[in-house]
Structure 1
C-alpha cells in the first residue's frame, strides 16, 4: 500500500499541465502559456487528490476530532471538546473534493478510461455518502452543476442520496467487473488506495454498498435486506491486505498521524488521553490491544489503610507509586472511581480517584471545563501534563509508523457486517464472521498471535447477541471514530452515555449545516430544515437556528427507536 503524500498536491498541478499540449502557436497571444487547462486535466492526478483528501478527513475524524470523544475512545484534558457541544465539520472540504472528483469523472469519460471512471464514481458516491451521513438532506443532484448554471442548489432528501450512492457503488463495481480484461493502467503511485489493482477497487465498491445497505437496515429493512443478500454474493474485501488503509507519510501535518507531538507542539499528543469507558471495557475483557493503544500510567495511585502508607503520611509518593490514606477521602470530598456509580458521585460534587494500576483514562464529560485536574493531578494547569492519567501509546506521538494509517474500510468491518447480517437472517455464519472480525483487528495491529487466547475470554467468546458483535466492532474501529459513531447512531450500541457535564443528556445525532447556508442559499436551506424531526432534546442548547441542531433527527432516524 502506498502512502499519503502532501506532494500529491503539487503532482496534481503537474499532472494537469502534463496533459496539455506543448505545441502552442506563438501567435495565440490570447492564451495564457502558464495557465492550467482543466479541459485537458490528467484524471489520474485529480483522483489522487481526491483520495488524499478523503483519507485525511476519515483519519482526522477517526482519532483527533471530537468524534473520538463522542464514541468514548479518547478525551482531551486540555484544548478539547468532551462535552458534546461540537457542531461538526467537513461540509466545504467534501464539496471541494467532489468538484475535483467530478472533473476527474468527466475527463475519464472523454478519454474512454473505464477504470478511472469507475474510481471517480466510487469516490464521488463515498463523499456524498459521508455528507448525508453527517448532515441529513444535502445538495446532490444540483450540487456540482458548474459554469454558473445552478448557483443555489436544492437539498435532496437523505433517502434519495443514500439510495443513489448505493446504486453508484454497484454501477462502478459492475463497470470494473465487466471490463476487467481490458482496463487502462492506473499507475500505482497515483492510486494511493490500491496501487492500480482494479479487482481491489471492485471489492471496495461492493463493500461500500454493503456498508450502506446496513446503514439503512433499521429505517428501511425491506430495501436493506434485499440489498444485503444480493451484495453478500459478490466479491468483497477478503483480507487485511485488501482493506482500504493508507499509511501516513509523515512529511508534514497534512499527511501525518493526527495529533502527533513531533510537529507543532508536543501538547498535540499529550492532551489526548484514553476515555475511561474504553479503558475499563478493555480491562474487563482482558484485551491485549490496550497495550498497543495506551501507555502505562506514569505514577499509579493506591488507596490503602493508614498503617500501609509509607512513612506514616496521608499522601506520599514512594518508589513511583502514590499512596493515599483511605481515611482521608471523605473529609476531602474524594471517592474511588466506580463505573457503576461515578456519574452520581460527580453530580454529588465528589472528585474521583482511579486506582487502576496500569491504564488510567478520563471519564467522559467529567467536568464543565478541561479535566486536567482529574485524578489528583499534582500540576493542575492546562497543558501541564498529568502523571496519574495514561497517555496514548508512544507510537501515536510519531508522524508515521507501521500501524499508523487512515483506516477507510477495514477487513474487520466487513466481517462484523456479515455477522450482523447473519443475525438478521440476511446471511450466514454469524459466529464465524464475528471471530474473523476480532482476528482481523488483532492482525491489523500486529498481535495476531494473541487472538487464540483472547477469543475464549469471558465476554468475548461468542454469545449470539447483536450487543456483543457491535461491542467488538466498536473496539476494532478504534482510530476510525466516524464509522463507530454511525454504527452507534444506527444501533444504539454500545450503550454510550454522556457524562454529568455534557451539554445534553444524549449524544448528538448529526452535524449542523454551515451558517453560510442560511444566508447564501436561504430558501433551500430552510426547506431542508423541514425534513429534520424535532426531538425533546432539540432545544437543549441555545444558539442554533430553528431545527438545525445536533439533536434533531434526520430521515434515517425518524420512526426508529435507536439510538435514543
Structure 2
C-alpha cells in the first residue's frame, strides 16, 4: 500500500476549487473563486478537497467537539460546562458545501467516463449525507444539489428513511463501479485516502454499507438483517492497511491535530481533559491504551490521617504529592470521588477529591459552571492548568509529525471487526468471538500496544462472554476520537450505558442537533414540515418541535437509548 502519510498533507495545499455558501439555503449556483470553469475542472483536484474536509471535521468533533464529549472520551474544563447544551452542531453548512464540490466532481467523472472517480464521489456523498441525516433527521437530499434547476424554489426535505436507503444504494453502486482493475485519469497523489487503489475503495464502500445497514438494526431489523448478511459476503476492510485514515503531520495549524495549542492559545490543549467514564473503564480493565491517550496526573492526591499531613495542617504538598487530612473531609464538605456516588455527592453540595494515583479524569457534567476547579484546583483560572487532573498525552499537543498515532480514523479495521461480531451475536453472521478478538487486536496495534494483546484478552471483563454489551464496550473504546460512531452506536443500542451527568441540561443525553437558523429562515415551509416529523419526548417539551431531545425517525418506536 502506498503510504498515506507521504501524500496526506498535499490536500491542504490543493485549493478548494468549488466553494459554496449554504448560509443562504441550498440552491445557490456554484461559483468558482479560482477562475476555472466547473465544466473543465479536473475531478482529481476536487475530490482531495472533499476528502480532507470530511476527515478534519470528523476528527475535530470526535476529539474536542460535541461528539467527543457526548461519547464521554473527553470533557472540557474551561469555557464549557459539558451540560449537553446541543444546538445546531457544526456540520450543516460545511457538509453541504463539500457535497456541492463533490457533485461537480461526480458530474465531471460521468461526463469524462471515469468510473473510479464516479465511485469515489458516490462514497464521499454517502458519508457526507450520512453525517447530516444521522444528526438532524430529515434533510434536503434528492433536491439539495440541483442548484438552479429548482427555479427559485427551496429544496424539499427527504425522510430519514429515504436518505439512509439512498446512501446504501449509492454505496452498492460505488462498489460495482470500483470492482475493475484498470482505471483512467487517476492521480494517485490527489487520492489522499487510498492513493488511487480502487480495490480499497471498493472494500470501503461495502464496509460503509455494513455500517449503515447496522445503523438500521433497531428501526428496520428485517431490512438490516438482509442487508448485513448479503454485505458480509462482499469484499470488506480486511486489515489495518485498508483503514480509512488521514495523517496529521504538523508544521502548520491546518496540518496539525485539533486543539493542539501550537498555533493559538496553549489553553486549547489544556482545556481538553480525559473523561472519568473512559478512564474508570480503562483502569477497571487494566487497558494499556490509557497511557497512550492520557498523561499521568502531575500531582496525585492522597487522603491520609492528620498526623501524616506534612506540616500538620489539613492540606499540604510535598515531593510532588498532595496530602489531605481525612479528618477534614466532613468539615469542608469534601467527598472522595467514586463512580457510583459522585453524582449524588455533587448534588448534595460536596466537593470531590479524586485519589486516583495515576490517571485522574473529569466527570461528566461535573459542574453547573466551568469545571476548572475540579479536584480542589487551587489555581482556579479559566484556561489555566490543573495539576490535579490528567491532561491528554503530550503527543496530542502536536509539535511534530505524530506518526501512526495522529490520524483521522474515519473507518477502522477494528470497527469492521466489531460490526461483524455484533452481526454474529444477532444471528446475522458468524464467529462472534473471533471477530471480537480481532477488533481488540487491531485497536491495540494501531495505538502501538499490540504486544499486550495476549495478556489483555484474558483480563476480567475483556475475556469474551458472548454478550452484545461487551462487544459494544470494546467497540466504544476502539472508536476513540471517532466520536460520531461511538455516539451513534450509543443512540442505536444504548451501549455503553452513558449517563448525562449531575448538572446536564436534562437527565438524559440528547438525540440530535437542531436545524440551523439560516436554514429555518430561508427554507421555512420545508423546515416546518421536517420538524413536524420529530416525535416529542418528556425532555423536549421546553423546546419547539425542533429539539435536541425530540426523537428523529430512526429512534421512533424503539426502546433505545432511553
| TM-score, structure 2 as length reference | 0.94
Q: What does 1:413-452 align with in structure 2 at a 5 Å threshold?
A: 413-452=415-454
Secondary structure of 1:302's aligned partner: strand
Query: Distance in 2 between the 1:111 and 1:15 partners?
Result: 18
Contact 2:11 2:192 (8 Å CA) reproduced: no
Partner of 2:92: 91
Contact 1:261 1:268 (8 Å CA) reproduced: yes
Shift of residue 455 of structure 1?
0.6
Query: Distance in 1 between the 2:142 and 2:299 partners?
Result: 57
Partner of 2:357: 357
Please give the per-residue CA displacement for 1:153-190, whole angstroms capped at 9, x wherever unaligned.
0000000000110011011001111xx13322522210
- The count of corresponding residues between Structure 1 and Structure 2 is 543
Shift of residue 34 of structure 1?
8.0
Partner of 2:22: none
1:130 aligns with 2:131: yes
Q: 1:13 to 1:92 in 2, by over 3 A?
A: closer
Shift of residue 252 of structure 1?
3.0
Secondary structure of 1:330's aligned partner: coil
Query: Distance in 2 between the 1:90 and 1:14 partners?
Result: 20
Query: Distance in 2 between the 1:129 and 1:390 partners?
Result: 34
Contact 2:8 2:193 (8 Å CA) reproduced: no
Partner of 2:483: 481
Q: Which moved more, 1:330-339 or 1:180-189?
A: 180-189
Shift of residue 265 of structure 1?
1.1
Query: Distance in 1 between the 2:181 and 2:338 partners?
Result: 61
Shift of residue 255 of structure 1?
2.9
Shift of residue 309 of structure 1?
2.0
Query: Distance in 1 between the 2:458 and 2:255 partners?
Result: 39
Q: 1:303 to 1:487 in 2, by over 3 A?
A: same
Partner of 2:276: 276
Q: What does 1:333-372 align with in structure 2 at a 5 Å threshold?
A: 333-372=333-372
Query: Distance in 2 between the 1:363 and 1:43 partners?
Result: 46
Query: Distance in 1 between the 2:475 and 2:121 partners?
Result: 29
Partner of 2:376: 376
Q: What does 1:181-196 align with in structure 2 at a 5 Å threshold?
A: 181-196=181-196
Secondary structure of 2:486's aligned partner: helix
| Structure 2 residues without counterparts, runs of 5 or longer | 20-31
Partner of 2:497: 495
1:558 aligns with 2:556: yes
Q: 1:202 to 1:7 in 2, by over 3 A?
A: closer
Secondary structure of 1:332's aligned partner: coil
Q: What does 1:387-402 align with in structure 2 at a 5 Å threshold?
A: 387-398=387-398, 400-402=401-403
Partner of 1:530: 532
Shift of residue 314 of structure 1?
2.0
Query: Distance in 1 between the 2:12 and 2:397 partners?
Result: 25
Partner of 2:14: 11
Partner of 1:117: 118
Shift of residue 304 of structure 1?
0.7
Contact 1:66 1:80 (8 Å CA) reproduced: no
Contact 2:61 2:483 (8 Å CA) reproduced: yes
Contact 1:245 1:407 (8 Å CA) reproduced: yes
Q: 1:379 to 1:128 in 2, by over 3 A?
A: same
Contact 1:455 1:461 (8 Å CA) reproduced: yes
| Structure 1 residues without counterparts, runs of 5 or longer | 17-31
Shift of residue 487 of structure 1?
0.4
1:54 aligns with 2:54: yes
1:258 aligns with 2:261: no
Q: 1:393 to 1:523 in 2, by over 3 A?
A: same
Secondary structure of 1:39's aligned partner: coil
| RMSD over equivalenced CA pairs, Å | 1.8
Query: Distance in 1 between the 2:439 and 2:150 partners?
Result: 47
Q: 1:492 to 1:127 in 2, by over 3 A?
A: same
Shift of residue 408 of structure 1?
0.6
Shift of residue 414 of structure 1?
0.2
